[in-house]
Structure 1
Amino acid sequence: MSKLVLTTLALGLTTAALAQHTDYPIQAVSFTKVKLTDNFWLPRLKTNTDVTIPASFQRCEATNRVKNFEMAAAKQGKFATTFPFDDTDIYKTIEGASYSMSLYPDEKLGAYVDALIAKVAAAQEPDGYLYTARTIDPAHPHAWAGKERWERERELSHELYNSGHLYEAAVAHYQATGKKNLLNIALKNADLVCSVFGPGKRSVAPGHEIVEMGLVKLYRVTGKPEYLNTAKFFLEARGQYKGYDPKSKDVWKNGSYWQDHESVYDQREAIGHAVRAEYLYSAMADVAALTGDKRMLASVDSIWNNMVTKKFYVTGGTGAVPGGERFGGNYELPNTTAYNETCASVADIYWNQRMFQLHGDAKYADIMEKVLYNGLLSGVGLDGKSFFYSNAMQIKNSFSFAQTEPARAGWFECSCCPTNLARLFPSLPGYVYAQKGNDVYVNLFVSGSTDLLVNKKKVQLTQQNNYPWDGGLKFTVNPAATSDFNLLVRIPGWARNEAMPSDLYTFAAPSQEKVAIKINGKPVTYTVQKGYAVLAKKWRKNDVVEVTLPMEVRQVVANSKVKDDLDKVALQRGPVIYCAEWKDNSGKTSNLIVPATTAFATTYKPDVLNGVMELTATVPTVKVDAANNSISTVQQTMTAIPYYAWANRGKGEMTVWFPQRVTDVDIISQPITEAVVNK
């Protein structure tokens, strides 16, 4: 690398700040400035550090993902894994380890990561190309890769996808450690990409988006405009390919699987492969913010609205259809075949954080919270090393052939989800707070502290709570000197009688409970703007804000257009969605009925599932008397646990949506299992 580039890198974020005249109106407080003490999240982040990341590195070694880099450096051997994107599992785990080392400094882990980075550097070709599926044996590349570089990028090669994850990892590693060894590799590759793609050069809509997000991150670090320009070029390449049949309803033939069916400026619907889509929408938000592109902003706003009004599960999952891991049609949200890829929840967190930074509306943080506590957290077992690739909404023993995963697995041949979780969890501190001039936003209720600079004055903000089990929130504001600013505390939609920022889900009955706020022990009246309680005052040392959120058990109903959920209810307490699992309910859950009048008791169980708030109620239960050939309903105690905690005690029935009454009975002669179907 030239001396000039190294000088630019030394300036780091300062250079980027000088170069950018347009950006997100609201800036997230960096993960490096937030220290957690939280009883709910900190143990999970520690498990991620102690178990998930080491297990991920070990599995990358055992499955020859690391060996691929070693063979690429030696220019000999045979690609030893299944997919050409297997390189990214190394990058994502390095990214997670980098965030983790910011929380828990670890010299041994740092040395291992540096050794891995050295192997990545050795595998990189002299011009910056980095793709082990070709470099190991260029004469016989992976079947998905094509004979020449970039030849099959639109459909299968994932060359730019690999690059994107490399860039994301490199920036996280640089920010967390200050080291440039991985960043230098990423910049060399990005310079190659920018030299190959652009106006008057090669054009393609990347088959699996994320390179766009990664290029934006490199732009922020270096201030180099080529990176932002190329990110925008990739976005604008969509909808230009002439090889698709726009009249076909086949998502592969019309290009919608890749979000390549029309220009990003014309897209208005969440469509195609959910993970690819949400990475695309995240990049659209980035580019719209950094370039002031109002047309792109209008598109991404419309797409977000389509998702939250028509294509979003009550647990925060997205991507209903297993075939293509994709969004279904409007209101197509089946339960037994729900796909809800864990990676889609990761991507959804990235997207909604960006939407909040664009608009400053709590509805985006509401969605982010729903995903975090439910659809994303369910993706990893309590042991930190067992995972769901898809996240089911119902498991019925009699219909197992029609369902997605009924049990967790330690690893997958396509292992994108475990490594995506490894990088998401330790980045959580960066989602808690945000700032815009005189406004300090509190988006997530996670105990810990942050040191801010507000109006050029130092302010420490500390949170103390037992969230999500308790609605009592305490914030201590400690400015270095008396200071005027606005503290904006999110009042969650669920605490304002809003189950969703749309009519897709609503609470069955309104709550009369109100959110109470005190400052230094005295109740205060407050205004709510865009979902935030605006607390404006002259803050003094050790001012205390107390917020009390109502934590009733609420029944949730779906829009009548969601056919699978007609006459059913889901259960929610605070941000947590509940399910019933076989273990607590006499071996079955598909026979439970929850009438509208059901009253639930709540009990914290420290010894159950690492500590959960359980819900119990007496409900009608359908019982089959095979001996007398009869069916009846009997009263039974029903127990519900947080959805995120299911499938940690063995395999069996689970359900999120409960019928309110018996409307029909299907009679089958024997359970319909996969074995029966295949006879």
Structure 2
Amino acid sequence: MKRILLFLMFSGAAATAQVKDYPYRPVAFTSVKLSDNFWTPRIETNRTVTIPASFERCENTGRVKNFQMAAQHSGKFGTTFPFDDTDIYKTIEGASFSLAVHPDKKLDAYVDSMIVIIAGAQEPDGYLYTARTIDPAHPHAWSGTRRWENEHDNSHELYNSGHLFEAASAHFLATGKRNLLNIALKNADLLVNTFGPDKMHVAPGHEVVEMGLVRLYRITSKKEYLDLAKFFLDERGKRQYNKRSKNPFQNGEYWQNAKPVIDQDEAVGHAVRAMYLYSAMADVAALTGDRQYLNAIDHIWDNMVGKKLYVQGGIGAVPDGERFGDNYDLPNGTAYNETCAAIGNVMWNQRMFQLHGEAKYVDVLEKTLYNGLISGVGMDGKSFFYTNAMQIKHIFAHKDMEGGRSGWFECSCCPTNIVRLIPSIPGYVYAQNGDAVFVNLFIPGTADIVVNNKPVQLIQQNNYPWDGRLQFTLSPKSPLTFTMKLRIPGWAQNKAVPSDLYTFSQAADTPVTIRVNGEPVNYAVENGYAVLKRTWKKNDRIEMNLPMEVRSVVANPLVREDLGKVALQRGPIIYCAEWADNDGSTSNFLMPKTASLSAEFDKGLFNGVTVLRGSVPKVMVDASGEKIDTGSKPFTAIPYYAWAHRGKGEMTVWFPQKVTNVDLISK
């Protein structure tokens, strides 16, 4: 029974009463067992280090105590933000994902003990929000004097509910227990009784409740939950703002509330809120068949990927409001790139793939996953970035942007979001549509798939992302005719991203080759996938070779910050130069068109990585400080995700191709 429930949740399949849903459904992460050297150690570190550390910090910082005080209706809210409740919910969600594939009696018992504390804080009618319940006469300053009064702004009451729903769904589907689910359903029923066309109207200030309601709908088939999710979405754009103001806080763009969702066509406002909104719109579009929602998120995706995406997959350029900037506004020195926004970007692009079945969405997902997302967590599993910089110039570095990671933050949404994302990664590897099996990510391991009601074992072997030689061994129980669809990454087809925002400076002409049982095969490409349809037999072997050359990436000329500069990419990995490898400075390297870099695997660095090495011009000042020289110097670039593990100092992603000007600065 548990395995069926897990399939329903993590494959995107609907409960029995549901008809419409995503046409392309991921293979449940519980059916995919990874055995690689890149993701498996990260998932294990998340299980053994990040989850325990997160729970410990929730206790040490007063987050758990908030729930205990709420149960007693006594005390003073002890942390900073009214959404601090969600750090416990997100950690429980991540722990539940881990328990689903790695039973752990001690962790299971601890989670149950947290659920008892959560239950104690819930009010009799289902309301659960410690920032008010502790002392209703003196709630948090953001909360308003009455329930939901400031929900359109920053009370985060519904945001808390959304993360509760997601955690409860994960916990129930992983363990079969209803202890947290019952708390969530009681809260959800309160929302159904409070909000609606003939009840209270509000557009949630921080989206996520919509995604959580969809999760509960999948479990219960209770249509009121889906209807309420859609109601919250449709409430956007009805609040009165100064429509002519260019200030996103005055015109409603910060909250994605300036227009009805079906009229939105640009990624705007707080980047995390935006990702959760667009993800929820995808969910509702899939479950209701709403073409207007689908049309809107298609246009928004085109805008984001074509004008507002950093080269390493980060989003949200502007620190003020943690938000998207204007089109092509992608500064490096002040880039914000919140880790939570990268996580949301992965979630949204997974849903876009599930709607359309096109590889371009997985291209963006992969770019973000391997670069701008895992940069947010240190290899120790307990140090983090809230923001992910694109450049650190040491002499200008702000005290918070010098390249140092933190163990926790006053606002710790990012570390606990990492907790729940990392163990779910196996669920992004494969997908199905009818008798077609999609290979989206290249991660070694074994998957148990059912095609046409018959079991198929799929074993993937490779050394990705360092090596492009991929092997897939198929073993149906008996000969079976079906289609394998292998994603050919955009970067292997001379597409840096699925838009003209970034391009490779020179086209590569090495083809992607595929062999079946050692014999070369011709293949058609559909929506970015190599299509191989045949009758597969036990131990049939597919080999695909993705050429991995060192490539120079250039930005669209409208990205003024990157004019005359290049970034470095090999396979899916974006590279940076860090002070520790380059005599303490990186901002004075040049990367001319004639630069030649070689890829070398360094097994002793960062648990084993491929680095780029060569000799390139470097602008230097002599000892007198009066002469400038450009001489060739050794150069090393490391994967972007791995920076800031060796102390604070300079880091650069974009390199000028030549000297165009010199600014004289006194120190």
- TM-score tier by shorter-chain length is over 0.9
| 8 Å contact kept, 1:493–1:501 | yes
Match of 1:553 among 547, 550, 555: 550
CA distance in 2, matches of 1:503, 1:33: 37
CA distance in 2, matches of 1:54, 1:146: 34
Query: Which one-letter code corresponds to 1:110 in the other structure?
Result: D
Which digits, 9 at most, give the CA deviation of each residue in 1:222-249, with x for residues without a partner? 111001000000000000012x110111
| 8 Å contact kept, 1:284–1:300 | yes
Query: Which one-letter code corresponds to 2:49 in the other structure?
Result: V
Corresponding residue for residue 479 of structure 1: 476
| 8 Å contact kept, 2:6–2:174 | no
CA distance in 1, matches of 2:538, 2:115: 45
CA change 1:534–1:662 in 2 (3 A) is: same
Query: Which one-letter code corresponds to 1:653 in the other structure?
Result: E
Q: Is residue 446 from structure 1 mapped to residue 448 from structure 2 by the alignment?
A: no
| 8 Å contact kept, 1:567–1:659 | yes
CA distance in 1, matches of 2:71, 2:461: 50
1:406 to partner: Cα distance: 2.6
- Residue correspondence of structure 1 range 584-623 to structure 2 within 5 A: 584-623=581-620
Q: Is residue 383 from structure 1 mapped to residue 380 from structure 2 by the alignment?
A: yes
Q: Is residue 276 from structure 1 mapped to residue 273 from structure 2 by the alignment?
A: yes
1:405 to partner: Cα distance: 5.4
Q: Secondary structure at the match of 2:148?
A: coil
Corresponding residue for residue 80 of structure 2: 82
Query: Which one-letter code corresponds to 2:224 in the other structure?
Result: E
Given the two structures, how large is their TM-score scaled by the length of structure 1?
A: 0.96
Corresponding residue for residue 392 of structure 2: 395
Q: Is residue 583 from structure 1 mapped to residue 572 from structure 2 by the alignment?
A: no
CA distance in 2, matches of 1:29, 1:78: 46
| 8 Å contact kept, 2:70–2:121 | yes
1:138 to partner: Cα distance: 1.1
Which digits, 9 at most, give the CA deviation of each residue in 1:439-468, with x for residues without a partner? 111111111111111111111111111100
Corresponding residue for residue 209 of structure 1: 207
Q: Secondary structure at the match of 1:533?
A: strand
| 8 Å contact kept, 2:159–2:207 | yes
Q: Is residue 178 from structure 1 mapped to residue 171 from structure 2 by the alignment?
A: no
CA distance in 2, matches of 1:246, 1:216: 31
- Residue correspondence of structure 1 range 235-384 to structure 2 within 5 A: 235-242=233-240, 244-384=241-381
Query: Which one-letter code corresponds to 1:423 in the other structure?
Result: R
| 8 Å contact kept, 1:337–1:402 | no
Q: Secondary structure at the match of 2:261?
A: coil
1:398 to partner: Cα distance: 2.2
CA change 1:609–1:12 in 2 (3 A) is: closer
Given the two structures, how large is their TM-score scaled by the length of structure 2?
A: 0.98
CA change 1:378–1:470 in 2 (3 A) is: same
Query: Which one-letter code corresponds to 2:28 in the other structure?
Result: S
1:21 to partner: Cα distance: 1.3
| 8 Å contact kept, 2:394–2:402 | no
CA distance in 2, matches of 1:398, 1:148: 49
Match of 1:533 among 516, 530, 534: 530
Cα RMSD (Å) of the superposition? Answer: 1.5
Query: Which one-letter code corresponds to 1:467 in the other structure?
Result: Y
Q: Secondary structure at the match of 1:18?
A: coil
Q: Secondary structure at the match of 1:72?
A: helix
CA change 1:423–1:625 in 2 (3 A) is: same
Match of 1:543 among 537, 540, 544: 540
Match of 2:93 among 83, 95, 101: 95
CA distance in 2, matches of 1:527, 1:623: 52
Match of 1:229 among 227, 230, 241: 227
CA distance in 1, matches of 2:299, 2:190: 34
1:164 to partner: Cα distance: 0.4
- Residue correspondence of structure 1 range 469-508 to structure 2 within 5 A: 469-508=466-505
| 8 Å contact kept, 2:390–2:653 | yes
- Residue correspondence of structure 1 range 566-581 to structure 2 within 5 A: 566-581=563-578
1:18 to partner: Cα distance: 2.1
CA distance in 2, matches of 1:589, 1:193: 53
| 8 Å contact kept, 2:14–2:21 | no
| 8 Å contact kept, 1:15–1:221 | no
Which digits, 9 at most, give the CA deviation of each residue in 1:96-149, with x for residues without a partner? 111112232211011100100111111111111100111111111111111111
Work out the number of aligned pairs and report it.
Answer: 661
Which digits, 9 at most, give the CA deviation of each residue in 1:544-589, with x for residues without a partner? 1111110110000000000010010000000000000000000000
Give unpaired runs (5+ residues) of structure 2: none
What is the percent sequence identity of the aligned residues? 65
Corresponding residue for residue 109 of structure 2: 111
| 8 Å contact kept, 1:336–1:403 | no
Corresponding residue for residue 433 of structure 1: 430
| 8 Å contact kept, 1:337–1:403 | no
Q: Secondary structure at the match of 2:246?
A: coil
| 8 Å contact kept, 2:574–2:640 | yes
Corresponding residue for residue 191 of structure 1: 189
CA distance in 2, matches of 1:536, 1:200: 53
Corresponding residue for residue 29 of structure 2: 31
1:250 to partner: Cα distance: 1.1
1:602 to partner: Cα distance: 1.2
CA distance in 1, matches of 2:454, 2:381: 40
CA distance in 2, matches of 1:10, 1:480: 23
Q: Is residue 416 from structure 1 mapped to residue 413 from structure 2 by the alignment?
A: yes
Query: Which one-letter code corresponds to 1:238 in the other structure?
Result: R
Give unpaired runs (5+ residues) of structure 1: 1-8, 671-679
Q: Secondary structure at the match of 1:352?
A: helix
